[in-house]
Structure formats: C-alpha cells, structure tokens
Amino acid sequence: MRPDRIAVVDWSAAARPRLGRDSIWLGLAGAGGVTVENLPTRAAAEERLHALVAEALAAGERLLIGADFAFGYPAGFAAGLTGRAGALAVWEWLAARIADGPDNANNRFAVAAEANRAFPGVGPFWFRPAGMDLPDLPLRGNARHGHGLPERRLADQRARGAQPVWKLGTPGAVGSQVLTGLPVLWRLRAAHPGRIAAWPLEPWQDAPVVLAEVFPSLLAPAVAAAERQDPGLPRDAHQVRLLAGALWQLAGAGGLEALLRPDLPEAVLAEEGWILGLGHEAALREAAAAPELTPPRLRNDCFAMPQGVDWVPVDEALARLRAALRPVTGTETLAVAEAAGRILAAPCIARRANPPAPNSAVDGYGFAHAATGAGVQRLPLVPGRAAAGQPFRGAVPPGAALRILTGAILPEGVDTVVLEEDTASDGQMVAFDGPVKPGANTRLAGEDVAEGAAVLPAGHRLRPPDLALLTALGIGQVTVHRPLRVAVLSTGDELLAEAQAEVAPHRIFDANRPMLLSTVAGWGYRPVDLGLAPDDEAEIAARLDRGAAMADVILTSGGASAGDEDHVSRLLRLRGELSSWRIALKPGRPLALAMWRGVPVFGLPGNPVAALVCTLIFARPALSLLAGGSWLEPQGFTVPAAFSKRKKAGRREYLRARLSAEGAAEVFASEGSGRISGLAWATGLVELPDGAAVIEPGTPVRYLPYSGFGI
C-alpha cells in the first residue's frame, strides 16, 4: 500500500473535554510533511476522522489511519461475547452499547460489566471508579477468577510495555480507550461500506482507506529525543507526529509492505488483531529519525477540470483550487523569537498558566476580604511591601493590610486589593470606604490562559502579538513549516528587465516581476526570481526547470491564453500537465494551472492589472494552502458607491477603487486593463457580484482594501 496520506490518532478515554497532555492528538503526514492537531472530545475526533475519510474518497486517494488502541481482544472473547469469532463482531457489539456524549460523558464501565456477565466466574474486565456500584466489574485485578480468557493478546505479549486490554483504569491502562475507540471506528467503517477495511481483521488490500492499530511506544527513544528538543509539545503530540512521519517515510521507501504482512495465522490476526510495525521497530525508528520528510509532489492531474466545463464562476474556481492543494513544505523547529511570519505545523500548548500566580492588578493595599465590612475601614499596615518580581515572603494577618504594587504576587493572607487613589495612609494605617468587593483588583492564576490549553492551532501564521502570547506561556520553541519558495517568471518578446535610456518603441519594461516578487515576499514566502524569458518555448522551459528545482511553486505572467504568441500555455500543454481554467472574471483571461516537474505553476495573464487581480484572488489563498496555512478569504466591507455603473450578468468584476473622504468607494476613471496607473492610484478593489447589477451613487458595494490582501 502506498497511501497518499497517513493519520495517526492518540486516543483518550477522558470523561470530560480536554486539550493538551493526555487528550486526543492527531498526526497527519502527507505532502509537505507532518502536522499535528489537538481535539477536545472523542466526538470532535470522530467528526475529524469522518472528514478525512470523505476528503480522501472524494479525491480518489488512499488513506491509512492508525489508532493507538487494541483492535481485538484475547482469543475466545469475541466468540464468548457475540457467538462469532472475529474482532469485528466485538466492534459491532460495543458500537450498539457504548453511549459517548459530545462532552465525553460515557457508560463504558457499565458496558464492561455487561460483557463480564457473558463469561463464567468474575472478570475479565476490571477497575471502576470508587463509588460506582457495578457488582459485575471487580475493583481489583486479583479479584477476577474463572472467566477462562487469556490475560494478553499475542501482540501484547510481544510489544514491550503493552498493557492488558482488560484493565480499564489506573496509570497506563488502555482498556477504556479500546471500549470508547472501537465504536468510533465501527461507525467510520459503516459509513463507507466496502471502502474502509480494518487491517488485519479483514481483507484490506483493495480498500482505499485502511484502519490499523498502532503503538507509539515502539518509537519510545525517538519520542524521548523529540521531547528534549521541543519540550513545548506534550508527549502525545510528539508520538503522533513522529509515528505518522515514520510511516510516511517508510511508505515512500516501499517499506510499509513488510509491516502490513505479519507472519501469523489468519485466525489470530482476524480475532486478536496486530500492531502495525511490531517486530519492525528498528525500521520505524530509523524512518522517524530521517532528517527531512520527502514530500510527495501534488498529483499531476490535480488541476484537471471536468470535460465540457466552459466558464467557471469565481467561487467554483476557488473551491476547486482549495480541494486540489495541500501543504508542500517540510517542517522545522525554531525559537519563538525567530518564528515571526512562519506557519505553525503543530498547535501550541501553554506550558505555564497566564498569569502563573494570583497577583495585583493595581497599585494599592492588599488584605483579607473576610475581615472587612461596610463603612470606613482602618487597617494597620504590615511593614514591607509586595512588588512585581519582589514577592512579600511573610503572611498578612486578618484585619491588617500590606502595600502592594501592580503585578506583585498576592502574599498569604491577601485576596483583595483596594486602589491607592481610594485610600488615605500615614504609613502606619490605611483607611478606605467599605465595602470592597471580594477579590477586587486582583488577577486569578490562569484567568487568561490555563496551563495545557491549546492556544494557537496548526496552520496559524505567527504575528508579533502571537510571539508575546507564546513567550508569556513559557513556549520557547515552535514547530513551523519551512517557508514556501515562490518563483516568479515574466514572459514576452516585448519585455525589458530594467529601465534604460535608449529603448525601441516596441519594447516595454517588465512591470509584473517587481510587483509579484514583492507581493510574495510581503506574504512571508521566499521569492525566487526567474527573470524574464522571450516568447520562446525552449527558453521558457529552461526557466521552468530552474523554478521547479529551486522553488515549491511558480508564478508566470504573460502568454497564458490560447493565441499564437501564448507560448506558456502551449508549452505547459505539450510538456507539462495544463488545465486552462476559463474563469468568469474581469479583469483576467484564462488562468493556466499546470504541473511542471511536480511543481504547480500558476500562469497569470500578462496584463499587470489582470495579473495582480488574479494573484490576489486566486494565488493568495492557494499559496497559503501550499505553505501549510489556512485558506484565506479576502477581507472586505460594504461601503456606498461613489460611482455609477451598469453591469451585465455572467462574470464577476473587480474595479480599482479607493475610499473618498466620506468613506464612499470611488473607482478609477478607466476600466482598461492596460492602465497600470489605476493600480497605483487605488487603495483596493471593488468587487461586483457575478449577476447583473445597476450601481448608482449610494448603492452598497463590497470594498476589498489592498491591506486586507496583505499588500
């Protein structure tokens, strides 16, 4: 099996929603490396898995989902419980009984007790929370007898550190994860009959989606090393990240097959299941240590448009792009101070609460609220003071007060602070009017952010305020995507690279390249200048080759239509994988989307006005996805028009616009797409909808400022 994507989920049996340590983590390996997600509940995780499966099936891709709980029980259990020997019979039995709420509240202990009743004696399941009255579920393991089942599966005997599946609680227990996880997998499998198979319980070779049991402890040394290197991420996050990455690496090298074919009797595999990678620890660890994941390129046909499609509305074109693209950049770990502008490849988890301890929000006097009341309060002052960074080490007795400054930790005996401006003091006593609200002018520990909270998700681009947040929370390092390298090529026989004195009238200067290079640099990508090429296919091909070697994506301008001199589109059709998208958009002619040696190429129109509009509307969100970020919608707002226009139905229009002093949208006098002066005159675009429109002064229109596009 050569999956297009690998998901590894670290399950949790938590009884309440939870993020951070010991919650549900999902590692996703695919094009461009590995990302990590943190999910607060099993319901959220189930929804995410359904979405991943739906995405894979829709795209015709193969998906491997690894889950870190046992897929089967020791021999004899399935038949004793259900009358059928295969593990899938147990999945079905559990799915019919386990009730697991959107808030993680569930009945797993009662279901385990019911399973125990199907067997003689006491057990096999054991452990329940103290105070839960379930006579068929013993509190201790040694209270079990006579149930007749083995303590461990074959896989659990072989895997170092694996726990028996019967134990439902106490540290390291996995039993509850099996009970809550299998129903989720059963529903996933049932939602796509015949398309999802559970390895090795059933034939799986032809299924596009394969579920497999994994055991992250097989990677223990690699996980320990990663924790030392990046202590900001909980162990579970490192586990799913490394395991997904290692499986991906192995799959790329053709090494996954060996893991998928354990040499064991069919009956054992179908009933007890097996751990993917067990017996292949060395290969897995080696793959986890591989320095850089080699991202498989985008599919060559990723831009293909169905036959017979003529003009594509803008929104449909955007939706197609969104579905076709995914991250193509690897990941690295950086110090937070170095990471501005980078895109997170893993969520950031607070290592420390903010504030870490209760403290004063003002300069004033602190005391115990319980010893004060209404009317004038006169409290003797304890000698000394508490200031930020200079804690008061003693205790403040009830009925006394202490001078306290903003940011100082509340000393023992202080829970309330009165503002200095509301007091009078002679240095011995402080007087103020009561009553004061309990806790007034104080900040609680963790009132801003709790320790362990997921504060920023994968895909988020780090801005200066984010660096403040991460630093405040004790996060020193972040796992981020490598910067996307964007190559820019201009084409056209008429173009000259630079302004020069003696110029023939048939030559013009290359206006697009400086515009596009600075645009992508401003977006946080690494611009790669491919210069300009004449309308000559060999020359253009040589530049594209260089772009494919040096960059992750190529933007070309000029020659993208279907005319005699449109050499870019001809070349891409002959030697690359071209899909010309005829987008119902003005300004903008067809957008040429192609793959060249595995690298996506955006063939923009040559006209600078159209080139910029297509870059802002199409390339911007597309580049963000390629870089590991989220899909970006343009930010706009509705303002009154300061112009008149009649627009026919059929295509969306973008006009060069700026706001008048009154906040109305003025548009550039000429719509001619050769008018570069209008681009610079404007401060944004007015977007007119696909349908017909009659616009008079005062009609509301959508204004998209350049700043909202990040330029």
**Closest distance of CB 544 from Mg ion, Å:** 16
Q: How far apart are CA 282 and CA 278, in angstroms?
A: 10
Q: How far apart are CA 231 and CA 662, in angstroms?
A: 53
Q: Which among 124-132, 214-222, 602-610, 659-667 is the span making contact with Mg ion, rule CB under 5 A?
A: 602-610
Say whether residue 559 binds Mg ion (CB under 5 A): yes
Pairing of the two strands 5-10 and 24-30: antiparallel
Is the Cβ–Cβ distance between 168 and 183 less than 8 Å? no
Give 364 or 606: the residue with its C-beta nearer to Mg ion: 606
Task: Mark residues 484-503: x for contact with Mg ion by CB under 5 A, - for none.
Answer: --------x-----------
**Closest distance of CB 607 from ligand AMP, Å:** 4
Q: How far apart are CA 684 and CA 409, in angstroms?
A: 49
Is the Cβ–Cβ distance between 473 and 360 less than 8 Å? no
- The one of ligand AMP, Mg ion, none whose footprint includes residue 547, by CB under 5 to 8 A per kind, is none
Please count the CA atoms within 13 angstroms of the CA of 550 that sit on its side-chain side.
Answer: 17
**Closest distance of CB 559 from Mg ion, Å:** 5
CA angle in degrees (0–180, nearest 5) for 515-521-524: 145
Question: 507-519: string of b/e by CB count within 10 Å (b at 16+)?
Answer: eeebbbbebbbeb
- The one of Mg ion, ligand AMP, none whose footprint includes residue 237, by CB under 5 to 8 A per kind, is none
**Closest distance of CB 610 from ligand AMP, Å:** 8
Nearest residue to 365 (alpha-carbon basis) of 390, 332, 401: 401
Give 558 or 628: the residue with its C-beta nearer to Mg ion: 558
Which token pair is 94? Answer: 């559990």
What is the contact surface with ligand AMP in residues (CB under 6 A)? 490, 492, 494-495, 508, 510-512, 557-561, 605-608
- The one of Mg ion, ligand AMP, none whose footprint includes residue 115, by CB under 5 to 8 A per kind, is none
- The one of ligand AMP, Mg ion, none whose footprint includes residue 511, by CB under 5 to 8 A per kind, is ligand AMP
Give the residue at shortest CB distance from ligand AMP. Answer: 606
Give 72 or 559: the residue with its C-beta nearer to ligand AMP: 559
- The one of ligand AMP, Mg ion, none whose footprint includes residue 557, by CB under 5 to 8 A per kind, is ligand AMP
**Closest distance of CB 606 from ligand AMP, Å:** 3
Please count the CA atoms within 13 angstroms of the CA of 563 that sit on its side-chain side.
Answer: 10
Say whether residue 27 binds Mg ion (CB under 5 A): no
Q: DSSP letter at 617? A: I
- The one of Mg ion, ligand AMP, none whose footprint includes residue 411, by CB under 5 to 8 A per kind, is none
Nearest residue to 390 (alpha-carbon basis) of 374, 406, 368, 370: 406
Please count the CA atoms within 13 angstroms of the CA of 84 that sit on its side-chain side.
Answer: 10
**Closest distance of CB 549 from ligand AMP, Å:** 23
Give 177 or 557: the residue with its C-beta nearer to ligand AMP: 557
Coil/strand/helix, residue 408: coil
Pairing of the two strands 331-335 and 348-349: unpaired
Q: Which among 97-105, 443-451, 469-477, 551-559 is the span making contact with Mg ion, rule CB under 5 A?
A: 551-559
Q: Which among 46-54, 290-298, 556-564, 651-659 is the span making contact with Mg ion, rule CB under 5 A?
A: 556-564
Q: How far apart are CA 382 and CA 395, in angstroms?
A: 9
Q: Which among 74-82, 238-246, 558-566, 660-668 is the span making contact with Mg ion, rule CB under 5 A?
A: 558-566
**Among residues 20, 124, 558, 629, which is the contact residue for Mg ion, using CB under 5 A?**
558
Coil/strand/helix, residue 63: strand
**Closest distance of CB 609 from Mg ion, Å:** 15
Q: How far apart are CA 398 and CA 370, in angstroms?
A: 8
Binding site for Mg ion (CB under 5 A): 492, 558-559, 606
